[in-house]
Structure 1
Amino acid sequence: MKIQIIIPVYKPDNKLLMLLRQIKKQMIKNIPLLIIDSGSNDEYRDEIEDMNCLVKKIDAKTFNHGGTRQMGADMFPDKEIYIYLTQDAILADEYAINNIVKVFENNNVGCAYGRQLPHKGANIFATHARLFNYKNESYIYSVEDKEKYGMKTAFNSNSFAAYRRKALKDVGGFPINTILSEDMYVTAKMLLKNWSVAYCADAKVYHSHNYTIWQEFKRYFDIGVFHAKEAWIREIFGKAEGEGKKFVISEIKMLVKNNPLLLFEMLFRDSMKFLGYRLGIKEKLITKKIKRKISMNVKYWR
């Protein structure tokens, strides 16, 4: 299959260099790579000299989670599979790209995403989030599975995901202006068009964030905003709160076993996440000035 890796970049750190080195080690050699650079000091320039790489510079003000990724796909209309990575996701082994691509041998798969493992140094909250959301068993979901799995059916993550060009075109591509969750938006659209989504547990990356409680609040505010603006996803697939309850129960069990002293922090942390999400759902009642202060994606409100 003709594949294209696309990586949006903004003020990258050493993880991007590690990712580029891992791309060069892949079983599939000389993979075409597009870096969409909205702000860097070309730290990666030496690393890509021997790679099949194109760099597209854009103004940071024009970056958008969905629109920028769609621009990358539009640059390569001849490719069959688009593979998206974030600059802080590091491929775990030399088989990662091959393992996410091979699932498209199933002609009904429209998109796929890989397993995310916590970075070395991830705290217990970041570690639990990865273990809860990314199990070690692969699956393929269709729209019928929403009756059993609800919102989880449309889950996806562009930290490491792949899309069939035909399916992406079928749903009109990524949304041009979304605060985040462009991956879930496209996946939900594909499911409604009778495409399937695949989770590839053997396609692995290291990717996690040690968010502060305030950062968690802001991120979940943005998630709430997304679900408020794309209310059809909750109406069709179910509310995200159900999955949240399972997450909290799982988190409590992990902390009781490993570090019960952190239970109070967990309760406060998860309460702030829930508060952020509920405020995001009611974002129309909040002034833009306040939204800019409590959102992780401040540029969205300009």
Structure 2
Amino acid sequence: MNFFVVVPTLNAAEGWSRLTPLLLESIAADRVLILDSSSTDETVNLADAAGFRVHTIARSEFNHGGTRQLAAELLPDAEILVFLTQDIELAQFDAIRWLLKAFTDPDVAAAFGRQLPRRGATPIEAHARFYNYPAQSGVRTLSSREQLGFKAIFISNSFAAYRREALMAVGGFPRDVIFGEDTVTAARLLLSGWKLAYVAEAQVYHSHSYTWMQEFRRYFDIGVLHRRQSWMLSEFGGAGGEGGRFVRSELRFLWPRHWWLLPSALIHTAAKLLGYRLGRVENLFGAGLKRRLSMNRLFWN
């Protein structure tokens, strides 16, 4: 199976020692494409020294979907494209091999692995990983939306792989989204009759401890995505029910051992809700205000 690993980077030198050791143990260096957004640190030099392929774009050209689509176009011989983000750490040397096993089923178009809390993660960020990335693997089809609703198209390009043939058949990654290109693509794949695989045996460390303002901005962007790609909600249902289940799970998780974090969790929840609702009506705001409210500010330039 001919595959390549793609890592979009921007000033990734600080976390390089977490990302690369197991990556270099598990696959040949020339199977890795670093797609760099004009870093000003040692990222490109480190990538060259490791033997990785490097392609540089202007920072202003970065787009979550468009940049990954560029990678697909730069690697026309790849059967499978594995995407990582620069802040992950492989939890096992064969994590990518585990992920690739999903493609032995010719109907699987995309697969994503399990994300574990990073070392030193707060209880709140740890719960988010345990909730969204369970220990059981599974395969989703279009009929999964009847049980899972919007969750049927959950996937994360922090650690995911795509069958290039299927990806290109649905138009590739969207170039015009603020982020969430993985979710949009997953929806298109399911609607086209392909399967999505979750491979719990393939594991990385990856989590974030967001401030309430960062949560607000991230969820503002999610609201923007859902307003502009409203067909996803029509096809797979709204995200509100899943959000409620997450909050209830979080409160149950924190109460026995981390009860003092409950006020913080509720503040974060309120910030997410407010950000999301404002994002859903972003058409009422000017570009300058949207840039200040957004996590992905380059999108508004």
Both proteins in one fold, TM over 0.5: yes
Shift in CA distance, 117/148, structure 1 to aligned 2, threshold 3 Å: same
Contact 2:44 2:54 in 1 (8 A): no
Query: Partner residue of 2:129?
Result: 130
CA contact (8 A) 2:112 2:155 kept: yes
Q: Matched residue of 2:171: which SS?
A: coil
Aligned pair 1:14/2:14, yes or no? yes
Alignment deviations for residues 129-151 of structure 1 (CA, whole Å, 9 cap, x no partner): 10110000000000011000001
For residue 279 of structure 1, what is the aligned residue in structure 2? 278
Which residue matches 1:45?
Answer: 45
CA contact (8 A) 2:34 2:47 kept: no
Following superposition, the deviation at residue 50 of structure 1 comes to: 4.4
SS state of the match for residue 49, structure 1? Answer: helix
Ranges in structure 2 where 5+ consecutive residues have no aligned partner = none
**Alignment correspondent of 1:113:** 112
5 Å matches for 1:97-108? 97-108=96-107
* 1:20/1:48 contact within 8 Å kept: no
**TM-aligned CA deviation for residue 49 of structure 1:** 2.6
Q: Is the partner of 2:64 in helix, strand or coil? A: coil
Q: Does structure 2 retain, via aligned residues, the 8 Å contact 1:17–1:44?
A: no
Report SS of the residue matched to 1:66: helix
Counterparts of 2:30 and 2:148 in 1: how far apart (Å)? 35
CA distance, structure 2, for counterparts of residue 68 and residue 169 of structure 1: 15
1:297 and 1:228 mapped to 2: Cα distance?
Answer: 16
| Other-structure match for 2:223 | 224
Over 6 Å off, 4+ runs = none
Unaligned runs of 5+ in 1: none
What percentage of residue pairs aligned between the two structures are identical? 43
The structure-2 alpha-carbon separation of the partners of 1:42 and 1:86, relative to structure 1 and needing over 3 Å to count, comes to: same
Residue 16 of structure 1 contacts residue 90 of structure 1 at CA under 8 Å; is this kept in 2? Answer: no
Q: Find the aligned partners of 1:290 and 1:46 in 2 and give their Cα distance.
A: 38
- Tell me the amino acid that sits aligned with residue 236 of structure 1: E
Distance 1:47 1:31, change over 3 A: closer
Structure 2 counterparts to residues 1-302 of structure 1, below 5 A: 1-26=1-26, 28-30=27-29, 32-40=31-39, 41-43=41-43, 45-46=45-46, 48-51=48-51, 53-302=52-301
CA distance in 2, matches of 1:48, 1:262: 44
CA RMSD, aligned part only?
A: 1.2
CA change 1:31–1:146 in 2 (3 A) is farther
User: How many residues of Structure 1 are paired with residues of Structure 2 in the alignment?
Assistant: 300
SS in 2 for 1:178: coil
State the AA in 2 paired with 1:95.
Answer: D
Write the letter of the residue equivalent to 1:267: L
Give a deviation string over 1:82-104, Cα, whole Å, max 9, x none. 00000001111111010000110
Q: Secondary structure at the match of 1:132?
A: helix
Is the contact between residue 13 and residue 42 of structure 2 (CA under 8 Å) also seen in structure 1? no
The 3 A distance-change label for structure 1 pair 292 and 108 is same
Alpha-carbon displacement from aligned partner over 1:44-99 (angstroms, at most 9, x marks no partner): 63465343x21111100000000000001101111100000000011111110100
Evaluate the alpha carbon distance shift between residue 97 and residue 255 of structure 1 in structure 2; reply closer, same or farther with a 3 A threshold: same
**Does structure 1 conserve the Cα–Cα contact (< 8 Å) formed by 2:65 and 2:177?**
yes
Shift of 1:42: 2.5
Contact 2:149 2:237 in 1 (8 A): yes
Distance 2:128 2:73 in 1: 33
Please state how far the C-alpha of 1:255 moved relative to its aligned partner: 1.0
Q: 1:21: how far off?
A: 1.2
Question: Any idea what SS the aligned residue of 2:197 has?
Answer: strand
Q: What amino acid maps onto 2:250 in structure 1? A: E
2:155 partner amino acid: N
* 8 Å CA contact 1:19, 1:90 repeated in 2: yes
How many angstroms apart in 2 are the aligned matches of 1:173 and 1:122?
34
* Residue 16 of structure 1: how far off its partner (Å): 2.9
- Per the TM alignment, residue 15 of structure 1 is displaced from its structure 2 partner at its CA by 2.2
Partner Cα distance (1:289, 1:152) in 2: 32
